[in-house]
Structure 1
């Protein structure tokens, strides 16, 4: 089962770096300045609408990262992968997270309803861990609840069978 959500985080880090450029026999080191908030990688100025769009992308990026981290943290050992992100390129040329998913093992534990019950409860917690669970998250939580109910029923049936063994005595003389 995949638990998927969508959000955003800013990708502007404002880092400085150096580039080594060779001029003849002499390497020259040139500092590369970070982009100002008003220009793109090709030097074009950004419009007010583009700035607004970038802020929305940054916000969505942070939201998705937090959402998926909540799933991953709550899933524990049931997570079969790390977070897989989907990206959108903004008008500034930067990539922003626009969606993501965490794969979680949602299979029952064969022949062990108690383990299945515990697993279903963990799946449900992981699905509902984010502050605003998506429709898909809620669907997964509902399926996990159904799996837990089935495991509870199996446990009750096992306990009843165990309690009946030895209690019923057939006396015929």
Structure 2
């Protein structure tokens, strides 16, 4: 109903005789059936307030399922890092947690500390960086951080390989010089022996 451009809601109550409670005399006790019905209605109204929205409940179940799946994935991911790291792991896996609607804590992130310090010599560094790269790429679904760690390890491995080649080249040169020096020294001895023979 519109009055003066403003809307007004009117409500009207119609009591149907079949829906009306039986009239009792003042002070009369309700029958057992009426008492049960009243108690049932009171419980229903309290439960209505306590009942959760089915849509909200479904969303919570879905969130819990997602958190459980993420928890499983994170733990498997970090276990793969730890298994591949072996002796270069600087500790066990640590996790970041999120509380779910059910009050439980779920792992949503994690890390395994790995020593990426080079070895005592190029050969040791090469072996260690290969293990670092393998540990970083061990999970079935490497993260961007995993790719970065593996790339850094491969870069360090390449530097160590260059250093090893340089050391090997220098060692070969030293051996060549030493071998040439020994050959040169023995030929000098022969020349001096030959000159002695001629003068005698």
Which TM-score applies when normalising by structure 2? 0.61
* 2:68 corresponds to 1:58: yes
Q: Does 1:132 align with 2:141?
A: yes
Q: Secondary structure at the match of 2:67?
A: helix
**Divergent runs of 4+, >3 A:** 43-46, 168-171
Separation in 2, partners of 1:64, 1:113: 34
Query: Which residue is 1:119 aligned to?
Result: 128
* Structure 2 counterpart of 1:4: none
Structure showing the higher helix proportion among its residues: 2
- Answer 1 or 2: which has greater strand percent: 1
Q: 1:109 Cα deviation (Å)?
A: 1.4
Instruction: Report the counterpart of residue 3 of structure 2 in structure 1.
Output: none
User: CA-to-partner distance for each residue in 1:143-166, whole Å, 9 max, x for gaps?
Assistant: 000011011111111111111113
Which protein, 1 or 2, shows the higher relative CO under an 8 Å CA cutoff with sep ≥ 6?
1
If you compute each CA radius of gyration, which structure gives the higher value, 1 or 2?
Answer: 2
Partner SS state of residue 132, structure 1: coil
Instruction: Give the length in aligned residue pairs.
Output: 129
Unaligned runs of 5+ in 2: 1-49, 189-200
Quote the RMSD (CA, aligned, Å). Answer: 1.8
Structure 1, gaps ≥5 residues long: 1-42
Please tell me whether residue 146 in structure 1 is matched to residue 155 in structure 2.
yes
Question: Partners of 2:152 and 2:144 in 1: how far apart?
Answer: 12
Task: Give the TM-score, by structure 1 length.
Answer: 0.70
